[in-house]
A and B are shown apart, each in its own frame.
Chain A
């Protein structure tokens, strides 16, 4: 089963549901819409706090100008090997300046979580057993020294300009 994790631990009352043909958000749930549906809703209503799903082939920059209407952006990893969402999250944070919740959905594995965090993803929909176990034990396989700036703010260790420390 899928659980939602963030750096404070597991979330018990998460309202978000990715909408599809078969799945619709219930009365006390919130819908994560596809990009097209989201843009249509933004144009047709003045609702805020919307959820939007960025699939790998989507252009995340189309969210520009609508950030104040968004409650959550889900970035999709249909397979752990499809790394496009790392760029989507980076652009969302660094280019568009989005500060709300960014959630990794799909094939979320423990060894990728540290990279996702660095790209500005701060919420994780996890179903992999090892990942659930390691997150419950708060054992992230991350490393503290980084050789490049990333979306997540980090300490400048006072070395070369490209280095950062968690």
Chain B
């Protein structure tokens, strides 16, 4: 993984001191909250319902055990002993004190971490496939490009006061695990006919109150042109994105109102001017960054096949965990392990300091010191020998981290909701907990199969409900919480926005409604191999409407 050089260290520590100065001025009253706000946001500091919230960047979701230990330390020292992993591969702490934040950032800097641009109207933490560098279906590792973008976008003088936030995601495989089509810019690494590496470029995807699927504006962008083309997009957006209405300020609205073809023409015209500028990436620089991401040396461990078979025979729980949470690695003797942060009835994405320490230990001992955060709010050990799966599993069991539910109905994404967030209209976490408890029996989850439930506590859609196979959106009606259900969303290479199925449900009825939907699916699927999403795409919403509301009574809420 990428390691800071002196230049990076100096930059991050300068930045910490800059923020310390700003916090000092805020605390003395010299800096007003409205002027402080964009500065603290660019350093990852939000003002939530009850306290400040610190969001620490985990660039493209990659970290080592030393960094994970620091995250545990921050949780203990500056928070209440836990942290919350987010859908943008970051971690957030909900209870820090403003006066202590510069110290927390200084501690993070000692392990090459920061909270830069995890919020604010700037280019945010760049995200990537959480299986990068390990997945069998990968054309190239997306992380070197994400790292180049991270560096280039850090405190960019021209693009720090954009109309609105700006999110970039990169994937290196046909199977899109980074949800690039719901990002402001989505980059899909591919190889040209001549074998050159480049990107298909998507622009203008996003969720929020106006969900839109990104439009492809370029089939193939050579890798050397990554920064010049991105600069062209950013400049067109900075100059022409709407600033009259915060809810229409994302680039998706500009793409929509201008038209993708017209916008692509503007971008290409600007790109033509920049293409041969100093932004052009020399091959040796790309190679030097890529070298940091060279995969670990994976020795043959063929003995794991036999051990694995024996362990599975001896322990049904272990077998279920392997079945659900371990996926094939590009090396046949290894697997990619998903550590579920979705215990049955628990809070999606939360981890205690002790759990973080346990993951750090396991990563150091069995997983080449590498950990990932997935946008589905789980942790990943990307390289684990099959021969080591049993001790890894035992370690996870001891830490309460061995829930065998990756990709199943209880692997729920949820935003913090009204329990923490100043924007929320409704709670998300208790709804996730109740659904998780209702469907928690392993046999029942296995019977239902792959099903992604995503819950947002308001229209800003941080819980990605638009791309949930089943999405829940908390709204407020006449002072009461109400949950609108959408069906058929998906955030992969076949991205779709879920459709609202009908009027919403009260908190005490929403889990029953989910159960009706699930039972309807189980009743109409062709066989066990037809997933919920496939079945929904085949039959459409009507059978679900009928089941939820009775024949012909469904009306849009």
Of the listed stretches A3-11, A36-44, A138-146, name the one at the interface; the rest are far from the partner chain: A138-146
Verify A143–B152 contact, CB threshold 8 A.
no
Mark each residue of chain B from 1 to 27: 1 if its CB lies under 8 Å from any CB of chain A, else 0: 000010100110011001001100100
Closest CB in chain A relative to B448 CB, distance in Å: 46
Mark each residue of chain A from 92 to 123: 1 if its CB lies under 8 Å from any CB of chain B, else 0: 00010000000000000101101110110000
Alpha-carbon distance A56/B18, docked complex (angstroms): 28
Interface size class, chain B: 35 or more
Verify A143–B14 contact, CB threshold 8 A.
yes
Alpha-carbon distance A159/B289, docked complex (angstroms): 11
Q: Which of A159, A160, A163 has the most CB of B within 10 A?
A: A160
Indicate if B238 sits at the interface (CB-CB under 8 A).
yes
Indicate if B160 sits at the interface (CB-CB under 8 A).
yes
Indicate if A20 sits at the interface (CB-CB under 8 A).
no
- Given the known interface contacts A145-B7, A147-B11, the answer about A83 and B159 at a Cβ–Cβ threshold of 8 Å is yes
Indicate if B140 sits at the interface (CB-CB under 8 A).
no
Residues of B within 8 A of A83 (CB): 121, 158-162, 238
Verify B148–A148 contact, CB threshold 8 A.
no
Verify A84–B279 contact, CB threshold 8 A.
no
Mark each residue of chain B from 150 to 162: 1 if its CB lies under 8 Å from any CB of chain A, else 0: 0111111111111
Verify A144–B14 contact, CB threshold 8 A.
yes
Residues of B within 8 A of A84 (CB): 238-239, 243
Alpha-carbon distance A48/B241, docked complex (angstroms): 34
Verify A161–B18 contact, CB threshold 8 A.
no
A residues engaging B (CB < 8 A)? 56, 80-84, 86-88, 90-91, 95, 109, 111-112, 114-116, 118-119, 130, 141, 143-150, 157, 159-163
Verify A146–B155 contact, CB threshold 8 A.
yes
Residues of B within 8 A of A149 (CB): 277-279
List the 4 closest pairs (A to B, CB-CB), nearest first: A83-B161, A118-B157, A143-B14, A145-B11
Of the listed stretches B30-38, B205-213, B362-370, B494-502, name the one at the interface; the rest are far from the partner chain: B30-38
Residues of B within 8 A of A87 (CB): 158, 235, 238-239
Verify A148–B152 contact, CB threshold 8 A.
yes
Residues of B within 8 A of A80 (CB): 35, 38, 161
Alpha-carbon distance A145/B288, docked complex (angstroms): 20
Verify B38–A141 contact, CB threshold 8 A.
no
Residues of A within 8 A of B152 (CB): 147-148, 162
Residues of A within 8 A of B25 (CB): 130
Indicate if B39 sits at the interface (CB-CB under 8 A).
yes
Verify B159–A162 contact, CB threshold 8 A.
no
Which positions 22-57 of chain B face chain A at CB distance < 8 Å?
A: 22, 25, 30-31, 35, 38-39
Residues of A within 8 A of B197 (CB): none
Alpha-carbon distance A148/B228, docked complex (angstroms): 11
Verify A147–B238 contact, CB threshold 8 A.
no
